[in-house]
Amino acid sequence: MNDNYQNIRELFHLDAPSPLPDEQIEQIRKHFGAIPKALESYYRLCGGCPEMNSTQDFLVTPDGRYGHYQLEKFSYPEYCVFYVENQSVSEWAFKKSDLNQENPPVYTTYDNGETWLKTADSVSQFLTSEAYMQAVLSKDYSNEEFYEILPEQISMIAEKFPRADADSDLYLGVQFFQPYPDTVIMILYNTDEDFSLLYSSDSEEHFEEIDSIISEILGFEQEED
């Protein structure tokens, strides 16, 4: 388990911990009955970073500081909800029966708890994947819209860029590539045969470099200076 979430802290330039307040963590512990070690570690290192926890989806807290999603609004007999989609279409949770596991699997519901599907093998995998998605949507330089991409083009991207250790079944599945510490490429699975591409960077130079490579892969014409 990645106890210190070093990779996502670097992605968001967190040189020091950005925690949820202790009283918030203790309220969560009381609400759940316990907090898995991987989740508590995240609260104490990254739980106070707005960009990481509210750009696309929202970390659920007692005070609803992200998207006004308060912990008390989510109550299921067998699940503990800790993250929610920006319009509350989906919620992410771990099983109450897994409370004493250090890093339990994560499940999602799209129908207010009628059905739960496994979306990540562990809390740390889910939170890392979620952070990478939040990052690609929040950086300064971006292609600004999702591009349609074919499986063979995904293979070409995989040959050009190193993978990030952040893939999961978040939504219907996501893959991430990380050419530089400040740069993220995301492949989003819309269906088993339909894929979208988004990429961004904190560096204009790095963005222009990967934009040129990806544009060539996708067959886009480059504008002349």
Contacts of 44 (CB under 8 A, 6+ apart): 17, 19, 20, 25
Check: CB of residue 35 under 8 Å from CB of residue 43. yes
How far is Cα 29 from Cα 23, in angstroms, rounded to an integer?
A: 10
HSE-CB at 32 with a 13 A cutoff on CA atoms is 27
**pLDDT value for 4:** 75
- Determine the 3-state secondary structure of 160 from DSSP: helix
User: In the chain, which ranges are E strands?
Assistant: 58-59, 79-84, 91-95, 106-109, 117-120, 141-142, 147-149, 174-180, 183-189, 195-201
Residue 1 has what pLDDT? 42
- The pTM assigned to this predicted structure is 0.93
Domains of the chain with CATH codes: 6-133 (3.40.1580), 139-218 (3.30.310)
Contact 42, 122 (CB under 8 A): no
What does the pLDDT profile of the chain (225 residues) look like in tens digits? Answer: 445 799 999 999 999 999 999 999 999 999 999 999 999 999 999 999 999 999 999 999 999 999 999 999 999 999 999 999 988 899 999 999 999 999 999 999 999 899 999 999 999 999 999 999 999 999 999 999 999 999 999 999 999 999 999 999 999 999 999 999 999 999 999 988 899 999 999 999 999 999 999 999 999 865 544
pLDDT of residue 102: 97
Give one word for 210, left, alpha or beta, with left for phi > 0 and alpha for psi -120 to 50: alpha
